[in-house]
Structures are given as C-alpha cells and as structure tokens.
Amino acid sequence: MVRRGGSQSEGGPRGRRIRVALACALCGSRNYRTTRLHTESEILNLSKFCKHCNRHTRHIEGK
C-alpha cells in the first residue's frame, strides 16, 4: 500500500512539526493555522491580515 500526502508530523527529514494557531495581538481572534518545528523554542510571531480589525496586525502563536 502506498502512502500519500507526505505528512511531516511523523518525523521526516525536516524534523517533527506541530500545528499551531495564530491569534491577532489586538482582538485575539484566531484567523490562521500553520505548522512549525517542534524543536524551536521561540514563539512564532508573524504579520498577517486580520479580517476583524481590517488591517495587518501582529499574530502570535497560540496552541
């Protein structure tokens, strides 16, 4: 049986990845889902568009 989909969460060549939600720093809504390496110690912090604030804001990792 051939497995398809290439899930990296099982510890592939790029390391183990975990799923995280990104929450807006202003209103707190969780608009985005992404993955990051399990071994990274710092919290993911990206600039994304928040549809509730209607502008680009800082989005912080939340589980």
* pLDDT tens readout for residues 12-51: 666 788 899 999 999 999 989 999 888 878 888 999 999 9
CATH, range 14-62: 2.20.28.120
What's residue 7's pLDDT? 52
pTM check: above 0.95 = no
Alpha carbon 25 to its chain's center: 14
What's residue 5's pLDDT? 55
- Contact 39/16 with Cβ under 8 angstroms? yes
Q: Where are the domains of the chain?
A: 14-62
C-alpha distances in Å from residue 45, one per residue of 3, 11, 22, 55:
33, 24, 8, 16
How is residue 8 annotated by DSSP?
Answer: G
How is residue 15 annotated by DSSP?
Answer: B
